Amino acid sequence: MYTCENCGAGLHYDIKSGKLLCDSCLSTYMVGSIKDASAVEETDEINAKVFHCPQCGGEIVTIDEAAATFCSYCGASAVLESRMTGIKKPKYIIPFKKTKDDCRELYLKHVKSNIFAPKELKAPSYLDRFRGIYIPYWVYDVHIDKDAVFTGDETHRRGDYIIEDSFKMTCHVKGDFSGISYDASSSFDDELCQEIAPYPTNEYRDFDTGYISGFYADVADVDYQLYMRDAADFAVDNTMTEVRSKFTEVDSVDTPDSGFGPVLAPSCGEPKNALFPVWFLSYRNHGRVAYGVVNGLTGKMSTDTPISVAKYLLFSLLLAIPLFFLLNVGLVLTPSAGLVATCVITGIGLITFLVNRSNIKKQETKELDKGYVSVYGKPGKTTHNGFFTGLIFPSIGLLIAIAILVFTPVSDIYYYAANLILIVATGFMLIQLIRQFNILATRPLPQFNKNRGEVDA
């Protein structure tokens, strides 16, 4: 913790001035010009207070004398348990540039544009829960310097002939990639992290504890080797794009082996640990959580906006009334054409249901979140509701309708009966689709249950 040399009160990093500011006498200090009284000299560790959420197991640290009364990861309102610990100093940091007020404004603008958003999302007390958290990242530098042979193909037409040329090209490929970053915290969702990227390297500062004064930080708990291959692949892919652009007259150039393959032989040194600024907001409702995160440097935002079921039902009702009259007035469709129309709607609904189902599975099992899986392993299978009303019932209805359309019975009554069954089934399916939408717009509560082991990753 930093204290004011003038009055002894606590200092915190002030985003607007980029300096350490005293709340009490308004003195300012350049970061790095003042020593942290409690700091251990000449070590690569910082004394910090770790807050542990009793509900989800998420952890954040601070160097201040603060208490944390809610958890940013699961939205629980509980006084988090704390203990002192030493955490390893990162190499770089990007200080916050966007203030809490900037975030509030950005977020409000987004929420107001969504008419189905629950009104709680606009409450000042809720927006006050925006919390500045430094998220740890692994930063990789990849270096490519290699003579490589590429095979190329070229096709051209001369008169009636199509001439295909295949040849080998040898060239020296050189590429330096710095600042390829991946989030090093299992608590911070990889998807959110990608959505608010990038954090440009020219904003990096050498780490100083002063920058995190007044903010929270998450702790790196993902092994640095995890993303090495991805960083190398990224460098190889970009190099190949560059190589291909050099041979514009050639139709195609084969990609050599990616990653640590022998052709381009990318070399990747040990990554550096960096802290990047994120404003974090969580909304907890019915056992699910929705996040709003803002890049603390650029203001790029990613939000899950749940919809209020009451608002949605009201809107649907308002929409259904004119539709109902429209259909009744203009009942010009022949029975078979009417049945075909319902079949198309049901078909689209079924496809949507299946796509949503697969997306929900991806979200719940976190199978795309490499950092999470590396620390906690693959979560078990999740159960999905709505299988009968969302899939089986409308499928049966659809089969009956298709059978009627194929066998073309003489009496219209068959068409009307089949259409009625299909409409009822589709109505049930729509309820499931709204439920799916709400699940996809929010997230399951995080469960960082497994022991994190040592905090100094």
Q: Is 1 in the site for Zn ion (CB under 5 A)?
A: no
131: left (phi over 0), alpha (psi -120 to 50) or beta: beta
Instruction: Annotate each residue in 36-65 with x if it binds Zn ion (CB under 5 A) or - if it does not, as one string.
Output: -----------------x-xx-x-------
* 3 state DSSP class of 433: helix
Shortest separation between residue 113's beta carbon and Zn ion, angstroms: 29
Give the range of 18-26, 196-204, 291-299, 339-347 binding Zn ion by CB under 5 A. Answer: 18-26
CA distance linking residue 242 with residue 244, whole number of Å: 6
Instruction: Annotate each residue in 150-169 with x if it binds Zn ion (CB under 5 A) or - if it does not, as one string.
Output: --------------------
Give the residue, chosen from 7, 30, 403, 424, that forms a contact with Zn ion under the rule CB under 5 A. Answer: 7
Give the residue, chosen from 74, 93, 144, 293, that forms a contact with Zn ion under the rule CB under 5 A. Answer: 74
Helices (H) and strands (E) in the chain, counts: 10, 17
Which lies closer to Zn ion via its Cβ, residue 27 or residue 82? 27
CB 13 within 8 A of CB 215: yes
Q: Which two tokens stand for residue 37?
A: 């009284």
Burial annotation 138-161 (CB, 10 A radius, 16+ → b, else e): bbbbbbbebebebebeeeeeeeee
Q: Nearest CA to 428 among 371, 379, 364, 385?
A: 385
Which lies closer to Zn ion via its Cβ, residue 70 or residue 116? 70
For the chain, the distance separating the N- and C-terminal CA atoms, rounded to the nearest angstrom, is 22
CB atoms within 10 A of CB 337: 10
Give the residue, chosen from 1, 4, 31, 148, that forms a contact with Zn ion under the rule CB under 5 A. Answer: 4
CA 29, 293, 210 angle in degrees (round to 5)?
15
Q: Is 31 in the site for Zn ion (CB under 5 A)?
A: no
Q: Is 189 in the site for Zn ion (CB under 5 A)?
A: no
Q: Is 11 in the site for Zn ion (CB under 5 A)?
A: no
* 3 state DSSP class of 299: coil
Which lies closer to Zn ion via its Cβ, residue 27 or residue 47? 27
CB 42 within 8 A of CB 430: no
Shortest separation between residue 56's beta carbon and Zn ion, angstroms: 3
Give the range of 20-28, 158-166, 352-360, 408-416 binding Zn ion by CB under 5 A. Answer: 20-28
Which lies closer to Zn ion via its Cβ, residue 71 or residue 429? 71
Give the residue, chosen from 20, 21, 22, 339, that forms a contact with Zn ion under the rule CB under 5 A. Answer: 22
Q: Which two tokens stand for residue 44?
A: 């690569």
Which lies closer to Zn ion via its Cβ, residue 24 or residue 252? 24
Which lies closer to Zn ion via its Cβ, residue 22 or residue 264? 22
Which lies closer to Zn ion via its Cβ, residue 69 or residue 334? 69
For helices 335-365 and 393-407, angle between their N-to-C axes, nearest 10 degrees: 150
Which lies closer to Zn ion via its Cβ, residue 74 or residue 265? 74
Instruction: Annotate each residue in 308-337 with x if it binds Zn ion (CB under 5 A) or - if it does not, as one string.
Output: ------------------------------
Task: Give Cα 273 distance to the centre of its chain.
Answer: 21
Give the range of 6-14, 44-52, 151-159, 170-178 binding Zn ion by CB under 5 A. Answer: 6-14
Instruction: Annotate each residue in 75-104 with x if it binds Zn ion (CB under 5 A) or - if it does not, as one string.
Output: -x----------------------------
Which lies closer to Zn ion via its Cβ, residue 22 or residue 240? 22
CA distance linking residue 84 with residue 51, whole number of Å: 9
Q: Is 133 in the site for Zn ion (CB under 5 A)?
A: no
Q: Is 27 in the site for Zn ion (CB under 5 A)?
A: yes
The DSSP result for 35-81, as a single string, is --TTPPTT-SEEEEEEEE-TTT--EEEESSS----S-TTT---SPPE
Question: What are the E-state strand segments in 298-340?
Answer: 301-303
Shortest separation between residue 70's beta carbon and Zn ion, angstroms: 8
Q: Is 24 in the site for Zn ion (CB under 5 A)?
A: yes
Residues near 108 by beta carbon (within 8 Å), at least 6 away in sequence: 122, 127
State which H helix or E strand residue 13 sits in: strand 11-14
Q: Is 28 in the site for Zn ion (CB under 5 A)?
A: no
Q: Is 285 in the site for Zn ion (CB under 5 A)?
A: no
Shortest separation between residue 27's beta carbon and Zn ion, angstroms: 5
Q: Give the residues lining the site for Zn ion (CB under 5 A).
A: 4, 6-7, 9, 22, 24-25, 27, 53, 55-56, 58, 71, 73-74, 76
